[in-house]
Amino acid sequence: MSALEFLQLSAAQHPLIVKFYRTHHSRNRVRPQARCWVVRRRGEIIGGLCLTPVAYGHFLTGLLIAPDERNQGIGAQLMRQALKDIQQPIWLFCQPRLYAFYARLGFTLASTLPEALADRLARYQRTKTLIALQRNARMATLPRPTLTISIACLFDDSGRILVVRKRGSVYFMLPGGKSEPGETPIQTLQRELWEELGLQLAESEFQSLGHHSAPAANEPGHWVEAEVFQASLTQAVKVQAELEELDWLGLPPARTEHLAPLLREKILPLLLEREDQLSLRFTQPAATD
């Protein structure tokens, strides 16, 4: 197989990558100020990506490898070539199923976003399930807006967890919401459950699952600091207020890409680990004299 050639295009060469995108039915836009990289085999472009300057760093878009050339590691090689000399932060948006690929290249879930990217992600998330990733943690110059929330894992008799989706969001999450001044975490949770589900639970019915944090699902560029509780759900619930849909999540779930980052990355692993420990406890043979 012939060798690969990696090349950063000049502005005058941008039409080459535009043609490549169009050939493969990509809608990626090439901005005049973008740094565009391609990989060629025998002189033919088989892959490309664009890095567009934004406040504090760069925004990566349009990573595309020709279908016949996929599953050979070419995309990762192109990424390494294009990013190796960039010291500033780099952000990108992707489907949750691609997280592992980008994580191997040094990307993590974005804790903050420049305002322009946060606004763009909010628009995209109205119709798509996307997450924001970043590479290079030099983010001290960016503030990290934080939301304080209380949420609950509400289990039915079958061990399923109630999840809800807010109007205008593509993500399912645990019921609960933002704290108001002067409220304790339990008071916040009780108020939110009543407003959103018509559900009344006494404080004694909740057990703490600890404090957890993650990127906010519906407020791009924000972070959530959450007090998480669990309780048994023995009452009927109904969608109210800003909620649009509810569903039930089994353990382990059949899919997770539609779940909010806090639930997907922090709460589910905690619940699954606890379930494994309980299973191990009940399957160990009894000690004999």
pLDDT in tens, 100-127: 999 999 999 987 888 889 888 988 888 8
Q: What's the chain's length in residues? A: 289
Give 146-277's CATH code, choosing from 3.90.79.10, 1.10.150.120, 3.30.2040.10, 3.10.20.740: 3.90.79.10
Computed from CA positions of residues 188, 191, 195, 197, in that sequence, does the dihedral angle turn out positive or negative? positive
Query: Per-residue pLDDT for 139 more than 60?
Result: no
Q: Which CATH homologous superfamily contains domain 4-135?
A: Gcn5-related N-acetyltransferase (GNAT) (3.40.630.30)
pLDDT, residue 55, reads 85
pTM score, whole prediction = 0.53
Q: Is the model's pLDDT at 65 over the cut of 70?
A: yes
Domains of the chain by residue range: 4-135, 146-277
Mean pLDDT, the chain, whole residue set: 89
Amino acid at 67: P
Average pLDDT over residues 236-255: 91
